[in-house]
Amino acid sequence: MTFELPEKSMESSYCMAITTAPRREEAETLAEGILGNRLAACVQMADIRSFFFWEGAMQKESEVALYIKTTEARYSDLEAYIQDNHPYDVPEIIKLPITGGLPGYLNWLDSTTALPGA
């Protein structure tokens, strides 16, 4: 008996971006701008403690992590928005593919990030 797996697409239509902000107020301002511009459907925030090297020295900072769920179609605009509106000179912007999920949730991502008239 031969068993073949169905072909899987190597690309996802959805992704999650991660960024950090130094304080809750800046994180909320970013989140509101991201959602107001339909660049994502959901932004979750969590207080974190970051350890990293910057300008040759180890830093220890309290930050707010933003977990931003969006579509591939909106990602480049999202990245540009974060760069333009972020308080850091070099903000963390990491893109992770979403390789699966509840179809209703993924449909909600599509409809929430769709531009009016598109």
| pLDDT mean values, one per 10 residues, the chain (118 residues) | 45 90 97 97 97 93 97 97 95 96 93 82
Q: Is 98 helix (H, G, I), strand (E, B) or coil?
A: strand
pLDDT at 116: 75
Amino acid at 88: Y
CATH of the domain at 31: 3.30.70.120
Instruction: Confirm whether 9 is domain-assigned.
Output: no
Instruction: Confirm whether 1 is domain-assigned.
Output: no
Entry pTM = 0.85
pLDDT at 118: 61
Instruction: Confirm whether 8 is domain-assigned.
Output: no
User: How many Cβ atoms sit within 10 Å of the Cβ of residue 57?
Assistant: 7
Tokens of 46: 């969590």
Q: Is 55 helix (H, G, I), strand (E, B) or coil?
A: coil
